[in-house]
Amino acid sequence: MESMLTLSDAKARFSKIVEKATNGEEFIITRMGSPVVRTSRFRKQGQPPNQGDLAGQIRISEDFDEWPADLQEALGMASPNES
């Protein structure tokens, strides 16, 4: 989850923000109430993500593998009256 900070708060707590960003936390820094910068952990290009980086951020719907009735019918998987 992203935390929002004002620019002056970010300046005052920069070392702590860098430490938390290194551990995967993201921050949005605002200036005069508008978001202007997002901080995140630096990753070299081509470097694979660490296992668990997205833990708790992805949700798979219980019906993710169910086809909608109209597609089942169009693909001949079900007749019109089975839907």
Listed residue (33, 27, 23, 35) closest to 1, CA to CA: 27
pLDDT-based confidence at 49, cuts 50/70/90? confident
Instruction: Provide the pLDDT for residue 20.
Output: 92
CATH superfamily name and code, 1-42: YefM-like domain (3.40.1620.10)
Instruction: Provide the pLDDT for residue 53.
Output: 80
Average model confidence (pLDDT) across the chain: 86
The residues facing 28 across adjacent strands are: 4, 38
**Residues ≥6 apart with Cβ < 8 Å to 24:** 41, 53
